[in-house]
Amino acid sequence: MGLLVDGQWQDKWYDTKSTGGRFKRTTTSYRNWITADGSPGPDGPTAFKAEAERYHLYVSLACPWAHRTLIARKLKKLEDVISLSVVDYHMGEEGWVFSERSGAIPDTVLGKQRLYEVYLEADPRYSGRVTVPVLWDKQTGTIVNNESAEIIRIFNRAFDAWGDASVDLTPEALLGEIDAINATVYGAINNGVYKCGFATTQEAYEAPFHALFATLDQLEARLSNQRYLVDSAAPTEADWRLFTTLIRFDAVYHGHFKCNKRRIADYPNLFGHMLELYQTPGVAETVDFGHIKGHYYASHKTINPTGIVPLGPDQDLTGPHGRERLRPHQ
């Protein structure tokens, strides 16, 4: 995971010396919105206008943050509206790169070989981490947004003229509860596994470890009497934001990130919830364990110097989820 400094690429890992061994995620830098008519978005005076085939999404199949956007694109039926590139799962000295590996899709818009070159196309003096996802505007030749939480909300509303307007991941009446759950899940679970995995002192590892499993325990109890994280008739954004961590947990985070108190398979309700979401039509197509395991185990040399990718675990994600016993709110 490298970065650009004044337009120059540097292969540098996260600096945990200055944070007492704690992993601190950097903030994303492109935060523009797209709206149906180009009217102002939630966080600014201007926005880009939604148009079919104008925008392009760069993702990694390994990255849980990028995975959110792939799922939203799939659920909203935007595959023919938002074009796609997928980077190679291996992150080496040049960061995310494009390749012909199975599952990868080259950069068909700019013809770049490295993702940082896409960032430089938008800003030749860019400084910051080069991350996925990236939402690119073909018309103006710039990055619209590289914050996954905002991209999924853009997809949920802006392109309803072309996609499936019947799917609403953030119903207005539930938005406050969705935001509250998202905040908890992000801090303790989505980012919590990284705080454990990238910690470089025992103290920095143990605090997020305890918070992670305390929160998983709370969600297990919550899902014992309601079908989804928000008591709604269908999964909301909150469920999908949790899902991308749950689906990676037993295969990667449990061992690689030392989050080994329990597996998700040991939580009946969380596991069933994950299975139901995985079995939602189209979602399994967005899950690629070859890319997921290949990235984490082969790319994180500070954690796994040998680069050996474990063959397990064996997981059956096609069996009954049992969640239909809990009637969703009507």
What are the catalytic residues?
Answer: 63, 194
The single-letter code of the amino acid at 228 is: Y
**Residues of 199-210 as b/e, b for ≥16 C-beta within 10 angstroms?**
beeeebbeebbe
Report the C-alpha gap between 323 and 109 in whole angstroms: 42
Q: What angle do CA 104, 241, 328 make, to 5 degrees?
A: 125
Q: What angle do CA 57, 60, 63 make, to 5 degrees?
A: 120
Report the C-alpha gap between 329 and 142 in whole angstroms: 42
